[in-house]
Amino acid sequence: MINEKRKMKSIFSFMFLAFSILISSITAAEIDPLKMIYSLRKTYENVNDYTAVFIKQERVRGILHWEEKIIFKFKKPFNIYMGWREGPGEGREILYSRGKNDGKMIINPHGLIALIIPVINIEPDNPMVRSKSRHTIKEAGIGMTIKFLIEQLELAEKQGDLKIEFIGEETFKDRVCSKIETVFPEGKSYYAGRILIYIDKEYNLPSQTFVYDWKNKLLEKASYTELKINVGLGESDFDPKNPEYGFK
């Protein structure tokens, strides 16, 4: 009798597992990952400002640099504050507002150099700046991530190279995310060979992105954690005179 109960329990367990797999497969097949990516643009239209902990890592000139943790503030149309909390640039701060300060960033370099030059005003496209990162501050933020993704997918679709797949769901930093993978052929004008995007299901915004080359080597990764949307950032959040900042 006991053996019969165990056998029936095993059968029901197997049937439940098979049913779950079937339902998951059907659900995944019904999801259009391209529409999911395009929907991000619509969601972002309703974002006026946000704060986050921005975590990034880049391969520059063949060298994979250490991970950096940055306090990130953004307010439309394009105002940015970045304050390094961990990593090689710890203590550094940058302010940038498009159309202000003659188009230059304001940098608190921190460290020994700050004893000689406490504040640096420099163009985002300056070769010295570009040599330390794959992107300029003009390409920073969630909105620019969405723009970059859509541009790459539109190019792939136009050239008949579109390959995009919904991978499934995964929890990232206690947030449920949809995972989407895109693959691009080598020898054309694409930025990378493979991009893996995590989309926060509640916010419908990118929370994490991994970018790989055609040998599956990590080029860069970026994530936005502790994201808070439409918090009402003001002019003081992008003012070097803000007493919470270290600009001198």
Tens of pLDDT along 60-100?
999 999 999 999 999 999 999 999 999 988 999 999 999 99
Instruction: For tokens 């501050």, name the residue.
Output: 137
Name the average pLDDT for the chain. 89
Q: How many residues are present in the chain?
A: 248
Residue 4: per-residue pLDDT? 58
* 189 has pLDDT over 70: yes
Long-range pairs for 85-89: beta carbons < 8 A, 24 or more residues apart: 85/53
Q: Could you give the domains of the chain?
A: 35-238 (2.50.20.10)
CA angle in degrees (0–180, nearest 5) for 157-34-149: 75
Instruction: Give the pLDDT mean for 171-199.
Output: 96
Virtual CA dihedral for 182, 56, 93, 118, nearest 10 degrees? -110
Calpha distance 210→132 (Å, rounded): 19
Residue 22: per-residue pLDDT? 41
* 27 has pLDDT over 80: no
Q: What is the pTM of this model?
A: 0.86
Long-range pairs for 11-19: beta carbons < 8 A, 24 or more residues apart: none
Rounded to 10°, the helix 33-44/142-158 angle is 140
Instruction: Give the pLDDT mean for 168-173.
Output: 94
Tens of pLDDT along 132-142?
899 999 999 99
Instruction: Give the pLDDT mean for 158-167.
Output: 97
H or E stretch at 155: helix 142-158
